[in-house]
Structure 1
Amino acid sequence: MKVFACTAVMMQTVLSFALKTDPSQNYQIIIGLLYNLVKFTAPVFIFGILYSTTRNTDRVYLPYLKRQWSSLFVPTILWTLIYLLVFPRLQQVNSYHNIGSFIWQFINGNAAPHLWYNTMMLQFIFLMPLFWFLAKFIEQHRNYTFLILALTFVGYFLWIYFYDLNVFHGVHEQDWYLFDRIFISFIIYGIFGTLAWVKRTKLELIMKRVWPFLILSFIAIFTWTNRELFAYGFPIKLTNAPYYKPSMTLYSLIVIGLIMAFAIKQINDPSKYLPLVHFLSTYAYRAYLSNVFWLQVIWMFGGRNIIFVNPLLGIITCYLITWILSFSSAYFFHIIWNKIKKSGA
């Protein structure tokens, strides 16, 4: 889940940069199709985090927070500072002008286009005891699983209906934009990720049977999301493809199911690529943090010019270099951080 999400989200960033060069309508169509294709990253990452956390932790809160401080919070703090100080033009909504606004931009996710996700995701880390309680409850009362799934599904769609009426092209589109980064907007993926671990045995059997249906559903819903995006006309605006729509929610859940089915097959075989996947997943979050930084550097040193000449070639080139630099820097910074901790000890 983490590797798929991180790999796909870098394409989202590249596509958003490419669209700023005012490409032709044909290239805008390609960008829109590719953007919708990879528009599953935040839900998949949240699902993966809750699944792995429920599986791997002993569910003791303070030791858990201590581990997350090193693996999640420290990289987030450092990269947020880098964006605000090195590339302040990447800020969203507003820009800082004093200490107070600097702190506000630091914590609200506006320091760079992708950091809204960190503000949202870290809330799940603080709220993890609630998901551990849910896991324990289901382990002790398995007959309630379907009821919890149904309540989650209905409650979440009521939430996105409220969001659609009031925020997405609604009267509060500007002043309620922070709604897109509070945990409730992604709660369905956290709950489903938790339940997926608890019910993993039955879920594996289901995935082995329904994957053809998931593929057909993927095609149908992907068509739906594109019809919605292109209905707004040209020039295409990627803000018209938010996560908070019924189509995008169903699309994300279908993609989660497909990744699960694929992963189950790889694990059962087992695939020779599993060690590589585990290695990349370790650095996926830190690679995600840095990807906009590296793309901005690439953009300044010729990436923009390649896209002007040939948008498709430019997108592929910028994406591949961004991916390599993001994971490489995550790995080497991790080694440096470990050496600093050892020298301090």
Structure 2
Amino acid sequence: MKQKDYPLADWGDYLKLTACTAVILQSVLGLAINLPLPKATQVGIGFTYDLVKFTAPAFIFGILFTTIRLRAAVKQSYWQYLRQQWSALFLPSICWTIIYLVGLPQLQQTQHYHNFSSFIWQFFNGNAAPHLWYNTMMLQFIILMPLFWWLAAWCHQRPARAWLTVIVTVVFAGSWLLGYQYLVGSRPEHWYLLDRIWLSFVLFAILGVLARLTQSKIAYWLKKLRYWLLAGWVLTYLWTGWQLFRNGLPIKLSQASYYQFSMTIYDLLVIGLIILLAEHQRQQKPTVAQKVHWLAGFAYKAYLANVFWAVIWWQVGGRQLTLLQPAVGIIGVYLLTWLSSYATAIGLKTLVGRVQNVFELRLKKEK
């Protein structure tokens, strides 16, 4: 398929691509914050980290939006859907988790495996690398997708049900955040498995479903309120920054938690701004929107590979350069990691496609 034949990206494509691009920067900043850098540089890393702390909600929102859109166009059984996702999501996740556990065991979180049972525990709970917690959580949404198909159909029958769903979801999400702050408090390391539970991010999944059902209305109101949206984004960004730095330096990036009212509001506002960008480019720059659709197809696999490449570039010179010139080192490692991650995703897909073609040709000759 030629570039001009690609369809326009939908909102989900923009959200997935933006989230992947931002999360790669998070990985690099996570490496840099452990260096003995000047206080001004630490402050810059903290504010930059907060700036891109929207990735998991945006990805979940985008996945549900696109899945519901495609569901309306092509009816699939649950097993057909799972077979499709096996090759697209589950198999790459398994392969990359093994690569991290075996090839880069020093990246494990919380604890390290020491026997087969602890290896399996690390494999399934997302502790194999800093970013795989999200992988464990996100795949739960794939398994539970029939619930969201049902919700979309139920709300589509009577539009008023969408408002009821929003109210119930917001109340649940608010209660979840209050419960987290009360139970977890300053001990997140003891409750880290909450990161892996789909309920922690169900707000963004349900809003992604409802956004697809009311897409034209949401686009209208986002455009009408765009300046208020931008002002709210600035205010909540400052709010999250104050929360991150209120305990002084050195900062801990783990304090920039998703489980804060400030961060939840910030994430929703960023999602709204990305949707505004998507609408503008779909109407004014369709060629760009086509490229976004193409790149978004590789976002998840590039996400899986990004920490692997970040660590490699960090070790072969990125660390030393960051110590000498922090901004140059961070930006350089980030750009190399982004390019390497997407090149890996695109290259592996091309390789697998060629291998499949070879086998198909051999089968045809044998027949």
Which residue in 1 is equivalent to 2:93? Answer: 76
Which residue in 2 is equivalent to 1:265? Answer: 280
Is 1:137 the counterpart of 2:151 in the alignment? no
Is 1:49 the counterpart of 2:66 in the alignment? no
**How many pairs align?**
343
| Correspondence 1:29-108 to 2 at 5 A | 29-57=43-71, 58-108=75-125
Instruction: Note the alpha carbon deviations across 1:112-150, whole angstroms, 9 max, x for none.
Output: 000000000000000000000110011101112112111
Cα distance in 2 between the residues matched to 1:24 and 1:122: 39
Please tell me the residue identity of whatever aligns with 1:85. Answer: V
Which residue in 1 is equivalent to 2:126? Answer: 109
105-114 or 50-59, larger mean C-alpha shift: 50-59
Residues 233/133 of structure 1: CA separation in 2 closer, same or farther (3 Å cut):
same
Cα distance in 1 between the residues matched to 2:200 and 2:107: 24
Return the match for 2:194 from 176, 179, 183.
179
Is 1:7 the counterpart of 2:21 in the alignment? yes
Which residue in 1 is equivalent to 2:338? Answer: 323
Alpha carbons 1:43, 1:186 under 8 Å: kept: yes
Cα distance in 1 between the residues matched to 2:272 and 2:339: 27
Q: Cα distance, 1:177 vs. partner? A: 1.3
Q: Cα distance, 1:201 vs. partner? A: 1.8
Which residue in 2 is equivalent to 1:200? Answer: 215
Q: Cα distance, 1:24 vs. partner? A: 1.1
Q: Cα distance, 1:271 vs. partner? A: 3.1
Which TM-score applies when normalising by structure 2?
0.91
Instruction: Note the alpha carbon deviations across 1:167-191, whole angstroms, 9 max, x for none.
Output: 2414xx3332101111000000000
SS at match of 1:217: helix
Q: Cα distance, 1:305 vs. partner? A: 0.4
Which residue in 1 is equivalent to 2:11? Answer: none
Which residue in 2 is equivalent to 1:25? Answer: 39
Cα distance in 2 between the residues matched to 1:119 and 1:338: 27
Cα distance in 2 between the residues matched to 1:343 and 1:91: 38
Is 1:162 the counterpart of 2:179 in the alignment? yes
Which residue in 2 is equivalent to 1:295? Answer: 310
Cα distance in 1 between the residues matched to 2:338 and 2:30: 16
SS at match of 2:189: coil
149-158 or 219-228, larger mean C-alpha shift: 149-158
Q: What are structure 1's unaligned runs of at least 5 residues?
A: none
Return the match for 2:263 from 248, 256, 259.
248
Which residue in 2 is equivalent to 1:214? Answer: 229
Residues 344/73 of structure 1: CA separation in 2 closer, same or farther (3 Å cut):
farther
Return the match for 1:285 from 284, 294, 300.
300
Q: Cα distance, 1:261 vs. partner? A: 1.0
Cα distance in 1 between the residues matched to 2:214 and 2:226: 18
Cα distance in 1 between the residues matched to 2:310 and 2:219: 38
Cα distance in 2 between the residues matched to 1:185 and 1:116: 12
Greater length-normalized contact order (CA 8 Å, ≥ 6 residues apart): 2
Cα distance in 2 between the residues matched to 1:66 and 1:236: 44
Cα distance in 2 between the residues matched to 1:127 and 1:236: 37
Q: Cα distance, 1:59 vs. partner? A: 4.7
Q: Cα distance, 1:160 vs. partner? A: 1.0
SS at match of 1:112: coil
Cα distance in 1 between the residues matched to 2:124 and 2:185: 23
Which residue in 2 is equivalent to 1:226? Answer: 241
Question: Root-mean-square deviation (CA), in Å?
Answer: 1.1
Instruction: Note the alpha carbon deviations across 1:14-54, whole angstroms, 9 max, x for none.
Output: 10100011211100000001000000000000000000000
Q: What are structure 2's unaligned runs of at least 5 residues?
A: 1-14, 361-367
Cα distance in 1 between the residues matched to 2:153 and 2:249: 50
SS at match of 2:225: helix
113-122 or 204-213, larger mean C-alpha shift: 204-213
Please tell me the residue identity of whatever aligns with 2:326. Answer: P
Please tell me the residue identity of whatever aligns with 2:57. Answer: P
Cα distance in 2 between the residues matched to 1:121 and 1:290: 16
Cα distance in 2 between the residues matched to 1:233 and 1:270: 44
Q: How many percent of aligned residue pairs carry the same amino acid?
A: 45
Cα distance in 1 between the residues matched to 2:296 and 2:201: 21
SS at match of 1:174: helix
